[in-house]
């Protein structure tokens, strides 16, 4: 069993436990035992509970980036990647929703998830051919994070099989961002955009807002920040 498969199995048990008993009572050791995984390896790969969020976010990003369209309008490419990210969350829906409901009562955890999510948005922008570097790139990443949070509010209550309500909310948010500030250029990889952030409705109360990612002036680093400062959700 390689590390990725190990992580997938542990995360599946972890989110099942979070759904059943909440974040506060969830234990990595118990999740590893329930999945029939070695505790020493679990300890190395998940040194603290927050590691679950970091690793889950990276796997969600990997799924989105692996299916990143190579051509087409930037808006369409972002839509496709963000929906792939939602597909990962959907596979662990009950646990992810339970986690999101807990975040308003855990500000440090919400800040961690916000930082990791902002980094994730930078990666998706770069994959879509939009620069996430520098001050303007930071604004773009925050704008895309606003899109993600707005669509996530719809996803939390979306019980449809095909996530139609989530797709509609995501499409609306991307269209609004495009109209508001032209932050999604269509054409040149690092084309210009205005410095105004997208005009989004405020994020839902039960979803954390992002905190600034100070890793590299707004550019997505080769690796997401490690545990201790999410996604995804992840």
pLDDT tens digits, one per residue of 162-216: 999 999 999 999 998 887 656 444 433 433 333 333 433 333 343 333 333 333 3
Do both 99 and 209 map to the same domain? yes
Please give the structure tokens belonging to residue 156.
């939390």
pLDDT tens digits, one per residue of 58-91: 999 999 999 788 888 899 999 999 999 999 999 9
Q: 214: burial class by Cβ within 10 Å (0-12, 13-18, 19+)? A: exposed
Please give the structure tokens belonging to residue 99.
């986690």
State residue 224's pLDDT score: 42
Do both 27 and 124 map to the same domain? no
Do both 65 and 132 map to the same domain? yes
CB neighbours of 202 closer than 8 A, spacing ≥ 6? none
Do both 130 and 43 map to the same domain? no
How far are the Cα atoms of 70, 123, 152, 155, 217 from residue 117, in angstroms, in the given order? 23, 10, 12, 16, 16
User: Are residues 95 and 18 in contact, defined by beta-carbon separation less than 8 angstroms?
Assistant: yes
| Strand (E) or helix (H) holding 68 | none
CA proximity to 53, closest of 13, 96, 3, 1: 96
Domain with 197 in it: 50-234
Do both 81 and 34 map to the same domain? no
Do both 108 and 201 map to the same domain? yes
Please give the structure tokens belonging to residue 226.
């490690």
Do both 120 and 190 map to the same domain? yes
Please give the structure tokens belonging to residue 131.
């620069």
How far are the Cα atoms of 104, 126, 215, 229 from residue 74, in angstroms, in the given order? 33, 10, 25, 31
Do both 32 and 128 map to the same domain? no
Q: What value does the mean pLDDT of the chain take?
A: 81
Do both 41 and 108 map to the same domain? no
Please give the structure tokens belonging to residue 18.
């979070």
Do both 36 and 63 map to the same domain? no
> How many residues are present in the chain?
234
State residue 177's pLDDT score: 85
pTM value? 0.76
Give the side-chain half-sphere CA count within 13 A for 152. 28
State residue 182's pLDDT score: 61
**Structural domain count of the chain:** 2
Do both 4 and 84 map to the same domain? no
Do both 31 and 65 map to the same domain? no
């Amino acid at each position: 069993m390689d590390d990725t498969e190990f992580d997938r199995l542990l995360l599946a048990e972890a989110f099942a436990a979070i759904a059943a008993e909440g974040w506060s009572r969830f234990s990595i050791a118990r999740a590893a035992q329930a999945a029939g995984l070695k505790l020493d390896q679990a300890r190395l790969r998940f040194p603290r509970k927050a590691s679950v969020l970091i690793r889950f976010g990276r796997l969600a990003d990997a799924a989105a980036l692996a299916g990143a369209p190579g051509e087409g309008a930037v808006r369409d490419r972002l839509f496709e990647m963000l929906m792939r990210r939602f597909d990962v969350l959907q596979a662990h829906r009950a646990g992810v929703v339970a986690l999101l409901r807990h975040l308003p009562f855990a500000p440090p955890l919400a800040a961690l998830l916000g930082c990791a999510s902002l980094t994730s948005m930078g990666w998706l922008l770069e994959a879509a051919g939009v620069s996430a570097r520098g001050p303007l790139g930071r604004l773009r990443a925050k704008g895309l994070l606003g899109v993600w949070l707005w669509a996530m509010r719809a996803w939390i209550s979306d019980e449809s099989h095909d996530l139609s309500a989530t797709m509609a909310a995501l499409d609306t948010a991307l269209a609004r961002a495009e109209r508001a500030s032209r932050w999604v250029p269509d054409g040149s990889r690092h084309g210009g955009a205005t410095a105004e952030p997208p005009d989004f409705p405020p994020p839902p109360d039960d979803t954390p807002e992002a905190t600034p990612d100070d890793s590299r002036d707004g550019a997505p680093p080769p690796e997401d920040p490690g545990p201790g400062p999410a996604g995804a959700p992840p």
